[in-house]
C-alpha cells in the first residue's frame, strides 16, 4: 500500500504467517477473539506525520488513511494483535467451499454506530462498490481475481473468483479492500467525502470518530457494540495529532505533549530520543520498501528499448548503501528485491545491476541513447518523511557524478502528489510501499498485474500469467519458485520500479504508555494502548 507505504518478526514469523494462510485455505477457519481488559477512562494522544488522503475505502490506498480505517471500520477477517495471525473478525467463520468460491458466515446482530444493520448485503455492497468505482487512488487493483460477490441470506457471503485456489484472497479481506461500509450512507458509484462520512457515523470497528479536523486532529471514542477479533479497547478516547514536520513531532514527544510518536521521525531524531530516559523507543520488524517508479510513457527515451536502457543505466548508477548510511544512519538497508527480505519468495534480482559506471554507459550507447540523459524526478517530503529531500539529493548527486545524467528534482505535498502521479505528470518518481499482508504476492500483484496500482503503463501478458499461477499454486515451494521467476524476469526485461531501501517500524512512547504493539499487521492498534 502506498502507499500500502504501512504496517513483524522476520523470516520465521513470516513463514509461520504463510503456513497459517495455507491452513486457512485448506481447512477454513473458526471464530477467534482477543479480549482486552475493560475500557479505561484516560486519553492517549498519538502524533504522526502521515497524512489522511480519504476516509472512503474506495478512494484511498495509503498508510495514513488505512491507519484510520483499521480502527473504525469492520472487516470480515483481521490480523490478531501480536501474533499477526489471520482470523475471522466480523465473520464467524470463513473457508473455501469450492476451488472457486470463498464463503464467510457473519456474526448475527452486528450494527454500525448509527444503528444501521451490518449484514451480508453490506459486505456485497462494499465489494461491488469497490470494483465499480475503481478509483485511480483506491485499492481496487487488489481484487483482480474477484469475479462477483453474492449474499444469499443475511449472514452468508460468497466470493466467486476468476482463478482457483487463490492463496491470497483470505488475507485481502483484512486489507485496504476489506472495510465493510454502510450501504445506507455510501453511494454505490462515487467516493464519499470525509465530512459526510464522519457525520453519518458508518463505523463498526473498535472506535468511532467523534471529531474530525483532517490532517490536524482526529478524536476517537470506543464503540461499545464492537464485536470483532480485537476485543474491547483498553482506552476509551484516542486522539491522533498530525504534524507537517517531524521536528515538531520530536519536540512534542520530548516535552510529553503527546504519548506516542508514530511515523515518521528522522533517523537523527530517533537516535537522540533513544537517549531520553523518559521515553521508550519501540522497534518493530520491517516490510516497508522505497522505490523509484518509471512512467513508461513519459520517461526519457524514443522507444521501449531506449527507455529500458535508461532504466538499466539508472539501476547501475545508484549506491543504495551510501544512501542507507549517509541519509538514514542505517535505519534503512539496501533493497535489491521487489519483495521485503525474510518473506518466502524474495529474490535479490536487482543485484544483476551492480554499481558500475561503465556498464551504465554501455546500456545507453548500445541502445543509441545520447548522454547526458535529462531526468525529471519527483519526490514527496511529507508522506515519506523529510529525509526524502536528502535521499533524493543524494540520488541526484550519484546519477550526475557518472556524467551520464542531468537531474532536475521536484517535490509536491502528498494530496497533490498522489493525484498527479497517476496522470503521467511525473516521468520518474518516489514511491513507498507498506504491505497489506505478509506475502510476496502483495509486493508483486499491485505493481505488476494488468490494471495495477501504479498506472505507469506497465503490462505484460507473461507476467500476468505467472502472477495468476503463483496465486493459485497450493504447494508453497512451487509457489516461491514462480515468485522468484517473476522477479528475475521483471528485473532483466522490464524494471517498472527500482527498489532502493527497506525500512522497519519505529514508535517512541512515554514511559507510562503500555500496549505499543508493532507486529506483522503493520498497523498501530489503538485498542491495546493504555496509560499506567
CA pair distance 300, 363, nearest whole angstrom: 14
Closest CA to 102 of 80, 126, 79, 76: 76
User: What confidence tens digit (pLDDT) does each residue in 257-297 have?
Assistant: 999 999 889 888 999 999 999 999 998 877 899 999 999 99
CA pair distance 417, 382, nearest whole angstrom: 10
What number of residues does the chain have?
A: 532
Q: Based on the structure, what is the number of domains in the chain?
A: 1
322: which 3 cell numbers?
551510501
pLDDT at 2: 59
CB 48 within 8 A of CB 249: yes
In a domain, 516, yes or no: no
In a domain, 377, yes or no: yes
CA pair distance 342, 331, nearest whole angstrom: 17
pLDDT at 453: 85
pLDDT at 264: 84
Residue 383 CA to its chain's centroid (Å): 13
Can you state the percent helix, strand and coil of the chain, rounding each to 5?
Answer: 30, 25, 45
Q: List average pLDDT for each run of 10 residues in the chain, which is 532 residues long.
A: 41 33 35 41 90 97 94 97 92 97 98 99 99 95 93 99 95 97 99 99 99 98 98 97 95 98 90 95 89 98 99 99 94 94 93 99 99 98 87 99 99 92 95 89 93 92 96 95 99 99 94 92 91 94
pLDDT at 385: 80
CB 95 within 8 A of CB 102: yes
pLDDT at 8: 28
In a domain, 449, yes or no: yes
In a domain, 493, yes or no: yes
pLDDT at 451: 85
pLDDT at 386: 80
In a domain, 417, yes or no: yes
Closest CA to 299 of 121, 498, 477, 446: 498
CA pair distance 106, 123, nearest whole angstrom: 9
Write down the residue that cell numbers 543524494 correspond to. 394
CATH number for position 354 = 3.10.105.10
**Pairing mode, strands 260-262 and 40-48:** parallel
In a domain, 215, yes or no: no
Which residues span the domain enclosing 454?
Answer: 287-504
In a domain, 382, yes or no: yes
CA pair distance 249, 241, nearest whole angstrom: 9
In a domain, 282, yes or no: no
pLDDT at 167: 93
Amino acid at each position: 500500500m502506498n502507499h500500502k507505504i504501512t504496517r513483524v518478526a522476520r523470516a520465521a514469523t513470516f513463514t509461520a504467517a504463510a503456513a497459517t494462510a495455507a491452513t486457512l485455505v485448506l481447512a477454513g477457519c473458526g471464530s477467534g477473539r482477543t479480549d482486552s481488559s475493560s475500557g479505561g477512562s484516560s486519553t492517549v494522544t498519538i502524533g504522526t506525520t502521515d497524512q489522511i488522503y480519504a476516509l472512503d475505502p474506495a478512494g484511498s490506498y495509503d498508510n495514513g488513511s488505512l491507519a484510520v480505517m483499521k480502527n473504525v471500520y469492520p472487516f470480515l477477517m483481521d490480523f490478531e494483535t501480536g501474533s499477526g495471525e489471520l482470523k475471522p473478525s466480523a465473520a464467524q467463520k470463513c473457508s473455501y467451499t469450492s476451488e472457486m468460491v470463498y464463503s464467510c458466515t457473519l456474526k448475527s446482530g452486528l450494527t454500525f454506530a448509527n444503528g444501521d444493520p451490518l449484514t451480508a448485503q453490506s459486505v456485497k455492497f462494499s465489494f461491488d462498490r469497490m470494483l465499480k468505482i475503481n478509483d485511480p487512488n483506491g485499492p481496487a487493483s487488489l481484487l483482480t481475481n474477484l469475479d462477483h460477490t453474492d449474499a444469499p441470506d443475511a449472514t452468508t457471503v460468497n466470493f466467486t473468483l476468476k482463478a482457483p485456489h487463490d492463496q491470497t484472497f483470505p488475507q485481502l479481506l483484512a486489507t485496504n479492500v476489506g472495510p465493510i461500509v454502510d450501504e445506507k450512507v455510501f453511494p454505490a458509484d462515487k467516493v464519499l467525502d470525509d465530512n459526510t462520512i464522519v457525520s453519518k457515523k458508518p463505523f463498526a470497528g473498535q472506535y468511532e470518530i467523534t471529531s474530525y479536523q483532517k490532517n490536524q486532529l482526529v478524536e476517537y471514542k470506543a464503540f461499545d457494540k464492537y464485536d470483532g477479533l480485537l476485543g474491547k479497547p483498553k482506552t476509551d478516547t484516542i486522539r491522533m495529532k498530525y504534524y507537517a514536520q517531524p521536528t515538531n513531532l520530536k519536540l512534542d514527544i520530548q516535552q510529553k505533549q503527546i504519548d506516542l510518536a508514530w511515523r515518521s521521525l528522522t533517523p537523527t531524531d530517533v537516535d537522540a530520543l533513544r537517549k531520553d530516559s523518559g521515553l521508550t523507543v519501540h522497534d518493530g520488524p520491517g516490510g516497508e520498501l522505497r522505490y523509484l517508479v518509471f512512467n513508461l510513457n513519459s520517461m526519457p527515451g524514443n522507444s521501449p528499448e531506449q527507455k529500458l536502457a535508461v532504466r538499466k543505466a539508472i539501476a547501475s548508477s545508484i549506491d543504495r548503501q551510501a544512501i542507507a548510511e549517509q541519509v538514514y544512519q542505517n535505519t534503512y538497508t539496501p533493497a535489491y528485491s521487489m519483495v521485503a527480505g525474510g518473506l518466502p519468495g524474495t529474490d535479490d534480482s536487482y543485484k544483476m545491476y551492480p554499481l558500475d559506471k561503465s556498464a551504465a554507459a554501455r546500456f545507453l550507447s548500445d541502445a543509441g541513447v545520447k548522454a547526458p540523459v535529462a531526468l525529471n524526478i519527483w519526490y514527496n517530503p511529507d508522506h515519506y518523511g523529510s529525509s526524502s529531500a536528502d535521499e533524493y539529493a543524494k540520488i541526484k548527486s550519484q546519477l550526475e557524478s557518472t556524467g551520464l545524467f542531468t537531474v532536475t528534482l521536484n517535490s509536491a505535498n502528498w494530496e497533490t502528489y498522489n493525484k498527479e502521479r497517476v496522470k503521467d505528470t511525473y516521468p520518474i518518481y518516489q514511491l513507498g510501499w507498506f504491505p497489506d499482508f505478509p506475502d510476496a504476492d502483495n509486493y508483486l500483484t499491485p505493481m505488476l498485474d494488468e490494471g495495477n496500482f501504479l498506472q505507469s503503463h506497465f503490462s505484460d501478458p507473461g507476467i500476468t500469467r505467472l502472477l495468476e499461477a503463483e496465486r493459485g499454486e497450493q504447494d508453497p515451494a512451487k509457489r516461491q519458485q514462480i515468485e522468484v521467476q517473476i522477479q528475475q524476469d521483471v528485473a532483466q526485461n522490464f524494471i517498472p520500479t527500482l527498489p532502493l531501501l527497506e525500512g522497519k517500524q519505529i514508535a517512541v512512547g512515554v514511559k507510562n504508555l503500555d500496549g505499543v504493539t508493532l507486529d506483522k499487521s503493520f498497523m498501530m492498534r489503538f485498542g491495546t494502548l493504555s496509560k499506567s
